[in-house]
Structure 1
Amino acid sequence: MPPESDLPRNPDPPDDATVAGGPPTAVGLAALLGPGGSGSDATTRSGGPSAGVVVDTGVARLVSEWEEGDRPPADLRDFLPDTDAIRRAALIELVMVDLAYRWIRVRRPKRIADYCLDFPELLAGPIPPELVYEEYRVRRLAGEDVHADDYVAEFPEQAERFVWLLEHDPRSGEAAPSALPDGADLRVGERLDDFDLVAELGHGAFARVFLARQTAMQRWVALKLSRNVGAEPQTLAQLDHPYIVRVYDQRVLEDRRLRALFMEYVPGGTLLDLVRLVRATPPERRSGQLVLDSIDRELSRKGVTGPGESSVRDELAALSWPETVAWIGLRLAEALEHARSQGILHRDVKPANVLLTAEGIPKLADFNVSSGDAVAVPGSTGVVAGSLAYMSPEQLAVSAGATSGAAADARIDTRSDIYSLGVMMWELLTGARPFPDDDTPAAALERRRAGVAAVAAALPDGCPPTLRRVLLTALEPEPRRRWSTGRKLARQFALCLDARARDLVDPRPGSTRSAAVRWTVPIMLAAIGIPNLLATGYNYYYNRETIVGSLSQSAQNSLEQVHLVIGLVAFPLAAVLILWWCRLAITVPRQVQSGGAVDAQTLGDARRATLDLGHRSVAVAFAMWLVAGIVYPISLQIVAGGIPAVTFTHLIASLSVCGAVAVAYPYFILTFYAVRSLYPVLLSHGEIHSDDGRDLRVLGVRSTRYLAVAASVPLVGVAGLTFAGTDGVGHVEVTVRVLCLGGIVGFIIVYQLFRRIEADLRALQRVVMLG
């Protein structure tokens, strides 16, 4: 007799609620037995209504009744809800619990047929395959000599789903029987409808796949033959994407009770073949050529001629191995995004399910179809699709019977597929999976919950920091910390493929750019303060020699005081305004770099503030110069009691030059610093959005305008010499000439910064605008 641990235990019964909406799905109500499993009724039907009537199903009360004693309850009707809409769904859950206790605890077995006699409403619709599978599994646990073939024969309508559950239940070590109907023996060389069967490509529990020649279209296809049940073809037909195996059409062969699903034939083998070759190849000899070698071996084995000239193969051959992994990962992430947009999850991402074309393009195949973009994970042990080695923690939580912690409240959505993709890409990069193979879902779940930080050292030394970060994020134990969509993951893989962008976003640890984030305030003060101090000094000297020097001593003293007051007020006020307006660009990058948690909204606002750092800073500085340009002439007019028109010409020229210096030079210094050091930190720790692409484009246009301002500095100086004159003041003329020369040198420096900023922005835009 199985140990007591195989029974569902529930010392603290959970909330006894479910959502009305029909019979249970593969996730949720399939099984209540498993290692350490316990019952829970909070179940959301995949593909059902988004909101339903939450009512008492009675399951938790039945579990409590069984736990209090070893005698069967008097009548299951006592536990049924009164609501007719969910009575049958609740009854199925009750039967599952009752089956387990009867067969294992007290050895007073009942079969599904007995329950149907007691509850005729069970026959109001088809018996759920999950209930059939649960009875089979409970009987096996109880030591009964029962075979899957018997159930396939006894429940033909549920056969395909039953075999699917058996094949995908990680706890089941039994080989699944063939679910093809009797008389469906198929042989190579046979003509089947419009197809000539040329070779068998593979077979599963309830399907066989042949390489076939479709005579009507004169093309090679992969022909999948299975029972004529389910809606798989209609679902897969929605997935029209270059990185997903294309489903052409289906035909129903009534005479043989078969459904023929014919699909695109992909001859280059699978990613599993490539992984095996990776393991046999020393790390220093791995490159994109390895993918082509694997494909060519498979083509040669099949007697297929490889492609001739191919730009894709040329591109692959030129990639390093980490870049090759990112190249493949990008395309598979886009495939997952397309499936998500159609409301479909894959749920079994693994190397064997990725086919390679003769050119090397990966195509995702063999979707374990699940409609809807999320499936609730109840606390009870259920059956979920997937291969144990590639399962996400939330998938394993179902199989392992987790009822507490984050896993118990998780939802299986596209982030689960992203986790599986992360495992697969890690294995492709290193030749080994990040986690050792475990015998049970519970052991595998424990390892995954610990995260991959402990095994991150297994990544090769040549792995770019960007790819390391992308893989570690994809393998986060908590779904909320992973990339939330395939598109966002694809953008990150695109970042790995752009040498300039990846070095920009993920500098080497300890590099100057990485350390510069801690010195934002001093850098800002220097970048803004030094040009403004130089402009102030020039303005003061020029005005003193051309205007103030001709005034009386008392007027000169008064204007000296005006200069001092303006400086003492403007500089501190400008510093406070700039620090306040740019506070997110100053504080958030440092907080993120030190490992602090920042919400998505704040992160987005900080990215915008960082790209605006130069513009905001010089806007404040320009406002101060504008105020000074109003106050100083007024003060001059009051003190001097009227000044000639030529004096205003000198004053305007001086203020224009100083304003241009105060705007152009700090802008490019701060923007260069923001784009090179601050913005990459925020981009690498958050998800990239389309708004980021818009902000980068705006910054590019704005930088071009500021470049024109920088070019105006020497031009204004020349104009001052030409039109304003210096009234014979030779040293002023020399000062203006020095200004012109300095302006030319400054423009050359600014132009170099502009070109670097422009190149960085183009690299970042290539990444954020993907998709």
Structure 2
Amino acid sequence: METLADTGTALAVTALGTDGAAATGADAALGVIDAGTRIDDFDLLTLLGRGAFARVFLARQRSMQRLVAVKISHNHGNEPQTLAHLDHDHIVRVFDQRLIEDDRLKLVYMQYVPGGTVLGVLRQVHKTPPELRSGQLLLDAIDAELADRGAIRPSDSRIRSDIARMSWPEAIAWLGRRLADALDYAARRGVLHRDIKPANVLLTAEGSPKLADFNISFDEHVRDAHPLRYFGGSLAYMSPEQLAAAHPDRLASAADLDTRSDLYALGVMLWELLTGRRPFETTDADLDPGTDGLPEAIDRQLEIRSRPIERRFLADLPADCPAALRRVLLSCLAPDPADRPERGRELAAQFELCLDERARNLVDPPKNSWQYRLAPWTLLITTIAGLVGNFGAVMYNKNHNGRLVEPALTAQQHASLEKLGLFFDWPFYPLLFALLLYLCRRAIWIPRGLRHGKRYDAETLARARTDTLTVGDRAALVGFTGWVLAGISFVTGLLVVGDLPATMLLHLLMTLVVCGAISVSYPFFLTTYWYVHCQYPTLLRHGRGDLTAEDAQRLQALGKRATVYLGIAAAVPMIAVLTGVSFLNPGQLPLIVGSMRWLCIFAVAAFVIAYWLFRKLEDDLRALQRVVATGV
């Protein structure tokens, strides 16, 4: 193993009096370092990567007898000291640094990650037809890199098995979840990356990503005409605000950037991984414009990235891409930073949602789903749910009570009773329906407004979420109240026009309570399932970041109430039988046998449907609780 002194090349360069000349000397010193050289405590084994201002080697650290990655670069900034404080599963661990060659070069040694970079995965994407891409592609790219370096392919593990089963969009979301979490960890410690790109994301043998090469050191006083010399970053992945900061003629600066700039770059990289190309047009001249052409190249990219993503790039998304992932990536790529996720943990939670099939299909239903197609018809569905639930009660009341009352009334008394009923029914039921619509107004109209592009403040969205989870209760309360009032008016009418015995009147009143129980249980499940499955997720999709622990508690409370309503639905046949024969003499029982039989058949069938909706509702509530827990 040769030392630097053995190479016969003097790396020390005489100071020439200007920063630009010093940089040229550092370039010359860096240019002669290659694999097979020993520097300080490190034997450089093989070149892992190179850039304009740095080289990275796999090296053996003699004193510790371990493999490390060694980055040798120009000596400026305090990057290693800052990064040494970052200890995260998805950030490459920096151990220490050394200064070499009269302090012109900096040697930073760090954790060695053997699985290559995302750039290798991207090459594999380009070689694989879209329909054949899956999580296995990620593992194949890693295994190919391990084979090239003579490393042993790891045995199967739970992580690798999980990745292999993923679709390609799910694998992208899996990577994004971890990288967004790493960016959030760094941002909370005052560190931005500023150079997210495929070559700066390393992969472990298990497939886990690790961020490397944080470009946190920059000096605006470096005397060099090329801003990227001191600012860093890659034009192909820069956010609009970072492009403006890199422009030599604009007032923006690196101090204007925050973590949303890194999230934009992450979105570009993940989009490229998902589709095989970036979400906007870039040419070789844009990516490597040279010093003279840099302002024009940045201006072109600023113009392109100030517009929404064009349809031709949206068409690149694979057919199996969940709507949730499409929305999340487009939010990262919003030209205005205010429209992007504010923090990395918020974005990480959204990527986590993309990995939960039931939850993501609730919040972002596929366009071919019935949930998506029927969403505009919520008012009609609410009306039908109420009518269907009460139809059985109306039929039971007509057949059961009608058979008992008609023989006991004269034709004149029956006509008077019908007139009295019309007097109460026509204004009464429309008023109840109007009351129900008023109580449910936020649950109906605010999700509709959101789907049409309207915006609401956080308080309005919070009230709409609360109302949406109580629509079923309100429908049940209005229906039960209607039957109680109808029972009172019916019995009062009988007292006015006829002279039925008190036992008959009491029996009729109790059977109307049964009708009220029917109107409580069945409409509850029909309306609640619809609003939980279709309306509430719309509110979550547009109200992310405003969710609280109270939202989770309301979802849990609804689950408990649903159990009570299911008990009521199960008890309807038993209550109907007990009340149906009460206070009747033996001669009257044959009159109500048919109605009791049909009620029991209807109640059993309705309970089966209610139970099926109850189980579906349970699954939805659990999925929505996971969404709320992530803060999406």
User: What TM bracket, shorter-length normalisation?
Assistant: 0.7 to 0.9
Q: By how many angstroms is 1:324 displaced?
A: 1.8
Say which SS state the counterpart of residue 202 (structure 2) adopts. strand
C-alpha displacement at 1:358, in angstroms?
0.3
Which digits, 9 at most, give the CA deviation of each residue in 1:669-718, with x for residues without a partner?
11222233333444444536543544433333332222222212122123
Q: Is the 8 A contact 2:35 2:44 kept in 1?
A: yes
> Which range moves more in the overlay, 570-579 or 359-368?
570-579
SS in 1 for 2:315: helix
**8 Å Cα contact 2:267/2:332 also seen in 1:** yes
Partner of 2:268: 423
Tell me the residue number matched to 2:390. Answer: 532
Q: Give unpaired runs (5+ residues) of structure 2.
A: 1-11, 219-226, 290-296
2:38 paired residue among 184, 190, 194: 190
Unpaired runs of 5+ residues, structure 1, are 1-148, 164-175, 372-380
Partner of 2:96: 250
Residue equivalent to 1:308: 155
**Correspondence 1:731 to 2:591:** yes
Q: Which moved more, 1:262-271 or 1:544-553?
A: 544-553
Give, as a single letter, the amino acid of the residue that structure 2 aligns with 1:424: M
- C-alpha contact (below 8 Å) 2:521/2:566 kept by paired residues: yes
Residues 1:178 and 2:26 aligned together: yes
Which among 139, 145, 168 is matched to residue 298 of structure 1?
145
1:228 Cα deviation (Å)?
Answer: 7.6
- Alignment pair present for 1:672 and 2:529: yes
Paired position in structure 2 for 1:575: 433
Deviation string, structure 1 residues 140-179 (Cα, Å, up to 9, x no partner)? xxxxxxxxx99986478x99xx97xxxxxxxxxxxx7638
Offset from partner CA, 1:327-381 (integer Å, 9 cap, x none) = 212222222222233333222211111111001111122222389xxxxxxxxx9
1:398 to 245, 249, 253: 245
Mapped to 2, the partners of 1:590 and 1:469 lie a distance apart of 18
- 1:695-753: per-residue Cα shift (whole Å, max 9, x none)? 43333333222222221212212333576556432121321222122111100011111
Q: Which range is displaced more, 643-652 or 566-575?
A: 643-652
Q: How many Å apart are 1:274 and its aligned residue? A: 0.8
- The aligned length equals 594
- Structure 1 residue 318 corresponds to structure 2 residue 161: no
* Match among 214, 231, 236 for residue 389 of structure 1: 236
Residue aligned with 2:278, SS: coil
Question: How far apart, CA to CA, are the structure 2 residues paired with 1:335 and 1:206?
Answer: 25
Structure 2 CA distance for partners of 1:734 and 1:218, relative to 1, 3 Å: farther
Letter in structure 2 aligned against 1:250 = D
Counterpart contact for 1:700–1:758, Cα < 8 Å: yes
More divergent stretch after superposition (540-549 vs 329-338): 540-549
**Which of 190, 206, 211 does residue 364 from structure 1 map onto?**
211
Q: Note the 1:652-671 alignment, pairs <5 A.
A: 652=510, 654-671=511-528
Most deviating of 571-580 and 256-265: 256-265
1:335-346 maps to which residues of 2 (within 5 A)? Answer: 335-346=182-193
> What aligned pairs does 1:130-279 form with structure 2 within 5 A after superposition?
154=17, 178=26, 188=36, 190=38, 192-193=40-41, 197-202=44-49, 208-214=55-61, 219-224=66-71, 230-247=77-94, 249-250=95-96, 257=103, 261-279=108-126
Q: Say if 1:400 and 1:445, in contact at 8 Å, map to a contact too.
A: no
Tell me: CA distance 1:727–1:423, structure 2 relative to 1, closer, same or farther (3 Å). same
- Shift in CA distance, 412/638, structure 1 to aligned 2, threshold 3 Å: farther
Decide whether the 8 Å contact of 2:71 with 2:109 is kept in 1.
yes
User: How far is the alpha carbon of 1:756 from its aligned partner?
Assistant: 1.9
Q: Does 1:769 align with 2:617?
A: no
Indicate yes or no: 2:190 matched with 1:333.
Answer: no
On the 8 A contact 2:417/2:493 being kept in 1, the answer is yes
Residue type at the aligned position of 1:483: P
What is the match of residue 617 of structure 1? Answer: 475
Please give the secondary structure, in 1, of the residue aligned with 2:185. Answer: helix
**1:66 is matched with which residue?**
none
CA contact (8 A) 2:243 2:298 kept: yes
* Counterpart residue identity of residue 441, structure 1: I
Larger mean Cα displacement after TM superposition, 445-454 or 197-206:
197-206
* Structure 1, 704-713 or 503-512: larger mean CA deviation: 503-512
The secondary structure found in structure 1 opposite 2:48 is strand
Counterpart in the other structure of 1:480: 338
* Deviation at residue 547 of structure 1 after TM alignment: 6.6
**CA-atom RMSD, angstroms?**
4.0
The CA distance in 1 between the partners of 2:233 and 2:43, in whole Å, is: 32
Q: Out of 468-477 and 494-503, give the one that drifted further.
A: 494-503
Distance change in 2, residues 1:234/1:446 (3 Å): same
Say whether 1:457 aligns with 2:315: yes
Find the aligned partners of 1:217 and 1:408 in 2 and give their Cα distance: 42
State the percentage of identical aligned residues.
46
Whole-Å separation in 1 of the counterparts to 2:75 and 2:246: 29
Aligned AA (2:26): S
Match of 1:280 in 2: 127
How far has the Cα of 1:293 moved from its partner? 1.4
Q: Measure how far apart 1:319 and its partner are.
A: 1.8
Partner of 1:586: 444
1:643-670 alpha-carbon deviations (Å, 9 max, x no partner): 6467535523x23322221111111111
Query: Deviation digits for residues 355-412 of structure 1, max 9, x if unmatched?
Result: 11001111122222389xxxxxxxxx997542111111122223347879xx999953
The CA distance in 2 between the partners of 1:315 and 1:353, in whole Å, is 24
Residue 626 of structure 1: how far off its partner (Å): 4.5
| Corresponding residue SS for 1:344 | coil
Residue of structure 2 equivalent to 1:699 = 558
